[in-house]
Amino acid sequence: MSSSAQFLNPSAAAQRLGVSAKALRLYEQHGLLTPGRTAAGWRAYGADEMTRATEIIALRALGLSLSQITRVLADDPQGLEPALAAHQTTLEGQIRQLAGMIEKVRDIRAGLAQGKLPTAGELARLLRPTAEFISVAFDLPWPWGGERFELRDIAPLNYIIGPLGSGKTRLAKRLAETLPDAVFLGLDRLEHGGAAARAQLDADLALRSRVDQALTWLVEEGAVASDALIALLVGLESEGAATVVVDMVEQGLDQPAQQALIAHLRRRGPGARPLFLLTRSSAILDLAAVGCRRGDHFLSRQSQPPGQRRPISRCRRIRGGRHLSGLARGAGANRRRHRVATPSGLKSGVRSGVRPRSTHEARTSNKKGG
């Protein structure tokens, strides 16, 4: 290693590339990237490694799996055509979306010429896809005692998490009942080895084609085809629903399948239909591995007072967000109490550095003035 050349450590290289250090290690594990080593054995990324990593990231953005990228970098075009076709479909969708927004601008200008002022909402919709403005509001079911729940600007990916008995499934079902044209994909999808899903595939060749394409991508990412994975894909790829709420998305999937699945779901375009994923899996929620996009929402506890209960983003980079590492702790060193909103528990407070209290403990503490 030349001492005059500039080399970056994994953290600095990841920051410059806009990915995580864990993503760089993942590329290394698949043989796509081989960083140099310092005299002490530490990884070091020079100009050649940074160029290679940039190419890998660009190919990932096109929707290629790691196996497909390996072949492309070896001058093997196998698998490139479907990836390019999918990318073309995404671009065409963006063109249609832009055309619609241009039409809205034209209508607003025509209204201005006639003395009609646009509303703030109409102007805001010129900057973001209409799908992001889907909203829902309802009174929370038991065990939240009818408190108001509001979710605005629903993202393509939304997570609902919490321990057993926290009520997250009741919340998910209420979301599916309230959101327009939403469906709830429950654990009954796994009954009889996913027989219902396979019957759907036999009856719908277009659905089978979409599932086969997604399954091929997942297998190349390290997943193993299974009844549970196929049943889940059938629910996710079926047409008709505007929103899909999935109960325990990781059920029946091993960790490689979970990691491949969340990478697959995150590569969807910004105009994709919203998904709500109930999960307790660290693989599904591993931001370091798959990155964090502005649109992802994390339905967890709130710092808002009762009556203004809203889900917050789970990404550190997003305004108002909190990283997953803060899940088991209250935010801030001043040990402020935080309201528990959705799946983390009932109306108990959560203090920094201590475990969430049970409902009985919270009530006892409240009686004592604690």
What's residue 321's pLDDT?
28
CA-to-CA separations, 367 to 226, 244, 362, in angstroms, rounded:
52, 42, 9
In the predicted model, is pLDDT for residue 78 greater than 80? no
In the predicted model, is pLDDT for residue 173 greater than 60? yes
pTM of the predicted model over 0.85: no
Q: Which position has the token pair 């998305």?
A: 249
For domain 133-365, is the CATH number 2.40.128? no
What's residue 329's pLDDT?
25
Determine the residue type at 104.
K
In the predicted model, is pLDDT for residue 275 greater than 80? yes
Pick the range with the lowest mean pLDDT from 34-43, 126-135, 186-195, 253-262: 126-135
What's residue 299's pLDDT?
64
Question: Distance between CA 339 and CA 335 in Å, rounded?
Answer: 13
**Nearest in space to 230 (alpha carbons), one of 204, 203, 253:** 253
What's residue 2's pLDDT?
55
Express each pLDDT in 178-194 by its tens digit: 998 999 999 999 999 99
What's residue 352's pLDDT?
28
Which of 78 and 297 is assigned the larger pLDDT? 78
What mean pLDDT comes out for the span 242-247? 95
User: Where do the structural domains in the chain lie, given as residue ranges?
Assistant: 10-61, 80-124, 133-365
Express each pLDDT in 293-320 by its tens digit: 545 666 654 333 344 444 434 443 322 2
CATH class of 10-61: mainly alpha
Which of 64 and 331 is assigned the larger pLDDT? 64
**Nearest in space to 303 (alpha carbons), one of 342, 332, 340:** 340
Domain 10-61 shares a fold with domain 133-365? no
Contact status, residue 290 vs residue 221, Cβ threshold 8 Å? no
What mean pLDDT comes out for the span 191-212? 94
Question: What pLDDT band is residue 50 in, cutting at 50, 70 and 90?
Answer: very high
